[in-house]
Amino acid sequence: MIDRIVLFKLRKEEATDEGRAAAAAETRAALAAVPGATEVRVGLPADEASTRSWDLSLLLRFESLAAMERYLQEPGFRSYFEETMRPRAECVKYWAFEVP
């Protein structure tokens, strides 16, 4: 099992409660339609320290590293990332972890 963890720091004008909620809703809607992930979770900061550092978290779970790589090339994912999040995000960090 592979977990891909993604953190987004939104641009200043997007980094409001309303902006975070809109980005989270659009992320849930867009990624629900993309085949390949066994689980998709979208999170918002839970405390003040998190709010200062990041605006949105994304956890994607896959059966394998190959499945993750295929997912990242899906047109629906590419469209979401390029059209929805790239214009909003100041910084994006992502990692993949193997989960036993």
The 3-state DSSP class for residue 33 equals coil
Q: Which domain holds residue 45?
A: 2-98
Cα 52 to Cα 30: distance, rounded to the nearest angstrom: 26
Residue 9: strand pairing partners: 91
CB 89 within 8 A of CB 20: no
Q: Provide the domain count of the chain.
A: 1
Across residues 22-50, what is the average pLDDT?
94
**47-51, long-range: CB within 8 Å, 24+ apart, which pairs?**
none
pLDDT for 82 equals 94
- The secondary structure of the chain in percent helix, strand, coil, rounded to multiples of 5, reads 40, 30, 25
- Average pLDDT score over the chain: 95
Across residues 21-41, what is the average pLDDT?
94
CATH of the domain at 79: 3.30.70.100
pLDDT in tens, 44-91: 999 999 999 999 999 999 999 999 999 999 999 999 999 999 999 999
The pairing of strands 2-10 and 56-62 is antiparallel
